[in-house]
Structure 1
Amino acid sequence: MTSNINLQDRIKHVFVVMLENRSFDHMLGLSNIHGIDAVSGQPTTLDGLNARNDWNLDLHGNKVYASSPADWNMLYDPGHEFNDVKEQLCGAEGNYPRINNSGFVISYSKIDPANPGEIMKCYAPDQLPVLTTLAQEFAVCDHWFSSMPGPTWPNRFFVHAASSAGLDHSPAPQTMADAILFRGYTFENGTIYNRFDKANLGWTIYKGDAFPQSLAISGMNIRALEGRFKDFKDFSGDLNNPGYTTTYAFIEPNYGHAFVGDFTCGDSQHPKDDVTRGERLLKTIYETIRNSPHWESSVLIITYDEHGGFYDHVPPPQTVAPGDATTDPANDINHFDFRQLGVRVSAVIISPFIPKGVIDSTSYDHTSVLATVESIFGLQPLTERDKHANTLNHLFSLTTPRRDAPTTLPAPSDSGFRCPGDTVASAATRLLVTDAAPATEPVPSSLQGFLHVAFLRDLQATPPDAQASRTAKFMNIQTHLEAKRYMEEVRQKVEPHEAQ
């Protein structure tokens, strides 16, 4: 199923949406999708779960099997920092490179000792009708892995820079070098956005809330002032403009209540949030592109930054290290060599030039996004990782665009949860509970990076003669409650400015 089509003649717009913290098996492992192998063209079945063979041992030596259905949201955020993932992949006493995916239950038992089997629960297809339909209609990649065995921030940096600049953990602003603290993260070879700039190709980041993670990259504050960052509410209007010229659009979800650290009431599909809210986002994105004047020249890539601690049965392979510099010594606390991929995550590739029902078992990671756009648009690779990454090019094998791609997708399931301000009609009766920020608890690791983004936005909106006092306030943050109050203050400060 390969073709010699000149893809740059066909593909003018690439859209990427990266959601949060869900493994492949957790989302699609029970989908039982049958289709055509992307390489051989032969009938095949997605590499999903086998309920008789997929299990972990608990602390008492009992087998805990993968099961269904999964809860719409988790009460506790599963561990997914570097050492958590090492235990999940290698077992309680394991160390790289011996990987057997045996430690998920034991890892989660430290967070929820009464219910360690929650981490083995997987969604049934009817719980995720939007994602499942897209996987059936286009190409699903069942060997797409997060770029490193660790948390959100380094994995998201890989999709922008083919590197995390040595970051192997959730960042802590108070330990950053001043250059990164005040200007953002730098990468020795820049980012994909620098490559697009050099080639005079347009790019946009659509942000779901006031604190997009990509704003932590050095220079992005200036690019935001230049109009490169747009609210997601502008997405539909932009796409319906026949003159839309953006070559590459990265869509950041609404991370919800990031400032209290539970990420509820967004649409990122963070474990503590209602997963159906992310289904609504995917439906909106797909239907907007599908019904726009640009459908026949567009590609949509859906994936997840990392697995969020959830079980997956496929051992991730080793890989090529980026080979670039660690730009801040504080980035490297685990002394990781970046030669090991992280846990498998879902990826669905959508285009009118992809046949229906393609299953692709090629090995990918997030830098395959970069390798693909570099190949299509004639850009140079950023690091050794994207230089050696597999591209998606072989998936776009049709010579003419499909006419049977659905114009609408099924409605998301009704979880029964709602959030304040919801306008979606629902029979929901339960309010999705947002955690309070304890007065004395330290700032959680999952919040630290977004706290840094809030600081960068604060400086952007503050006159120079007042920046010293704002910096002092930020540097004095010690507790979760102080972080919450600061981020809410910044949000209220920047949102009216953006509305003007």
Structure 2
Amino acid sequence: MATTPKSVSAHSRRHFLGLAATATGTAAAATLLPPSLLDAVARGRPAGSLRDVEHVVVLMQENRSFDHYFGTLRGVRGFADNSAKPGVFDQDGVRPFLARDAANRGDLSVEYLASLPHSWPDGHQALNEGHCDGWVGAKGTATMAAYDRRDIAFQFALAETFTVCDGYFSSCPTSTSPNRNFLFSGASGFEPSGTRAVGNDAYESTHPGYTWKTYAESLHEAGVDWRVYQEWDNYTDNNLDFFATFRTLGRAAVEAAGERGGDLTGFYEDLLEASDVDEQRQRAQRVHDGAARIGGGLTDLYRRGLYRGEPGSLVSRFRRDVESDELPTVSWIVASSADSEHPSASSPIQSSTLTYRLLDALASNPRVWAKTAVLLTFDEFDGYFDHVVPPLPPEGEPDEWWDGKPMGLGFRVPMTIISPWTVGGRVSSEVFDHTSVVRLLERVTGVDCPNISKWRRRVCGDLLSAFDFGRSDGLRLPARPGPVPSFEKRWEAKPGGSHPVQETERAVALPTPYRLSAVVVDGVLHLRNDGSRPAVFGVFYDGRVEHHTVRGRRRVQLASITDHVVVTGPDRFLCDLRFPRNGSSADVTLDHTSRRIRVDGRDVTATAVTDGWYEVSLTGPAGRQYYTGRLENGRPTATSPLRAD
């Protein structure tokens, strides 16, 4: 969706009212998991392997950050994160607050928060080279507004029933189109003008289309079945539309039909303005017929990637394919504006209705459910705050820098993996981004994507660690009903109320591929990662920030005046160290295999470690030293019991 928010079309408003009425008539479906899904979860599954995953369904929604949605969810790296970069929860004197407690809410529905700035310049202003302290200046005070369980019960129910990823980042700290480029192709390359594709330029009707290959084309060439499910209104969220092969094909179909609009985006925008439904259907059919006359493989590309069904047909077409066991190997779901969850055109509860119906369709055929994984994520974070320092590439890393700034990773967004192999309310903290979706598809289909940068392949996982292919006896869960609010207007929340309180219950924490430590010896910072995947350490000292991608060991020479350094990393790793200039921090030894800690030769495991999570606070001549993280031995554990100060 474009940086400048679009208004909701008349059709979209009509469509939403119908969905809301349906939800109300079925005991508020938007806040319940479908009975068919609960039954599927209760049935359990036999032991299996990756070969049992025959279908992957990708539903990428719009513009929500992780803290904005799940900062209060139990077990995740949220508002109670004791490993947060010091001071990050205080943005120019504004702290996170619950949207429902906003000073200006009154009787307004908490569902209909407004969209905030979300482009390349303000994204990097919020990021501030990794300091993550520019949110309010870039986005306004409303950036700190957050939801809790009362507001988005359906999303919480999915996250605590299946597996939520609290180390999943958007691919780029900017708007929709670049992030969806990463999803559909593994990269966001260059505009025809030669500038990097970090904005929504492709939405312009004169744009000729990007020339690098999409992953859909790679699947097509390999004979793998795939499809995009979308409607006339797709909110410009099918980025295949903006690649040269598909854009040329769409224009040819419009021209063959004798229609106006130039490209498919323009045609459907014009179509949705028409008031006569029969006329709309006839015009849409003429374009479909025009594509059919092109013939050959191009017609098949159109059918799979560009065909748009009439309003309200997306779920019924998806259900039909599930019922007949004809679901493609790879399905991309592209929602209408009203169903997109975008805070300028949709809402969490509107999107919940779509997600509910899709999951109900899938789970209603146990044979198809048993071999399908659904990836529910978001393209970018809009303007809403997230506190975790994103992994950033070394300066000058090929394919990962533009105009003196890193391409990514962007800030965290929610990712919930819904499948028979991800049941149990588990938390995965491995680093992922949108290219991780492509890499999971590579594992499932055997088809490579040539566009993913070497750095991202090193740093970001392929989502497979979130799956458990062992036997499951099933899980029975309750459902919670709730009301569907009516729409009045969108509003920007003004700070009010107290800091959100994260739930204290714990969940299952899945293993991560990191074994991290950091220590200062004689003015040199020693970074160490004995894990199987490189980790990005953020290093903060003397007002500067550096990002080091490390597997093995890395030495960082500190300045002679340095007496304080903060080191952040994945999986809740934090060292906040004060030491004499040119001196050393405490001798803290982490034994990940045995989950034991020694401080200056003394074993402190009994008082410092709980379920593999450690917290060590020491006071010396130079001040406090603080260490926290996980002793990773490759086994699941409970999520961190440690709370922020």
Q: Same fold per TM (> 0.5)?
A: yes
2:475 aligned residue (404, 426, 438): 404
Contact map agreement 2:182 2:435 (CA 8 A) in 1: yes
1:225 aligns with 302
Matches within 5 A, 1:28-177: 28-31=70-73, 33=74, 45-50=75-80, 55-58=89-92, 63-70=93-100, 71-75=110-114, 77-90=115-128, 96=129, 99-109=130-140, 116=141, 118-166=142-190, 167-172=196-201
Return closer, same or farther for 1:294/1:319 CA change in 2, 3 Å cut-off: farther
User: Could you give the per-residue CA deviations for residues 109-155 of structure 1, whole angstroms, max 9, x where no partner exists?
Assistant: 3xxxxxx2x22111011211111111101110001101011111000
Counting matched residue pairs gives 363
Structure 1 unaligned residues grouped into runs of 5+:
34-44, 91-95, 110-115, 256-265, 326-331, 418-429, 434-500
Matched, 1:300 2:362: no
- Give the alignment partner of residue 221 of structure 2, picking from 192, 195, 198: 198
Q: In 2 relative to 1, CA 230–247 (structure 1 residues): closer, same or farther, beyond 3 Å? A: farther
Which one of 436, 460, 464 corresponds to residue 393 of structure 1? 464
Residue identity in the other structure for 2:173: P
Which residue in the other structure is 1:18 paired with?
Answer: 60
Note if contact 1:17-1:303 (Cα within 8 Å) is conserved in structure 2: yes
Q: Which residue in the other structure is 1:277 paired with?
A: 350
Specify the structure having the higher radius of gyration (Cα): 2
SS at match of 2:350: helix
Distance apart, 1:209 and its partner CA:
3.7
Tell whether the 8 Å contact from 2:229 to 2:333 is kept in structure 1 after alignment. Answer: yes
Residue 235 of structure 1 deviates from its aligned partner by: 3.4
Q: Aligned with 1:145: secondary structure? A: coil
Which amino acid in structure 2 is aligned with residue 254 of structure 1? S
Note the alpha carbon deviations across 1:331-382, whole angstroms, 9 max, x for none. Answer: x9x6266553001100001110224021000000000001111012211232
SS of 1:47's equivalent in the other structure is: coil
**Residue identity (%):** 23
CA separation of 1:298 and 1:410: change in aligned 2, threshold 3 A: farther
SS of match in other structure, 2:370: helix
Q: Is 2:345 the counterpart of 1:267?
A: no
CA distance in 1, matches of 2:484, 2:387: 28
Q: Which has the higher strand share?
A: 2
Superposition deviation, residue 282 in structure 1: 1.8
The aligned residue for residue 37 of structure 1 is: none
Q: Which stretch shows the higher mean deviation, 162-171 or 217-226?
A: 217-226
1:131–1:282 Cα contact (<8 Å) kept: no
Counterpart for residue 210 of structure 2: 185
1:278 is paired with a residue whose SS is helix
Report the counterpart of residue 252 of structure 1 in structure 2. 334
Task: Give the C-alpha shift of residue 432 in structure 1.
Answer: 6.9
Q: Report the Cα distance in structure 1 between the residues aligned to 2:351 and 2:154, rounded to whole angstroms.
A: 10
Q: CA deviation at 1:248?
A: 0.3
TM-score normalised by the chain length of structure 2: 0.52
Give the superposition deviation at 1:168. 3.8
Q: Is the 8 A contact 2:59 2:332 kept in 1?
A: yes
Q: Does the CA contact (< 8 Å) of 1:5 and 1:399 recur in 2? A: yes
Contact 1:54 1:65 in 2 (8 A): no
Q: Which runs of 4+ in 1 moved over 6 A?
A: none
CA distance 1:335–1:137, shift in 2 (3 Å): same
- TM-superposed deviation, 1:409: 6.3
Q: Contact 1:191–1:382 (CA<8 Å) still a contact in 2?
A: no
Partner of 2:319: 237
CA RMSD, Structure 1 to Structure 2 (Å):
3.1
Contact preservation (8 Å) 2:58, 2:374: yes
1:360 maps onto 2:428 in alignment = yes
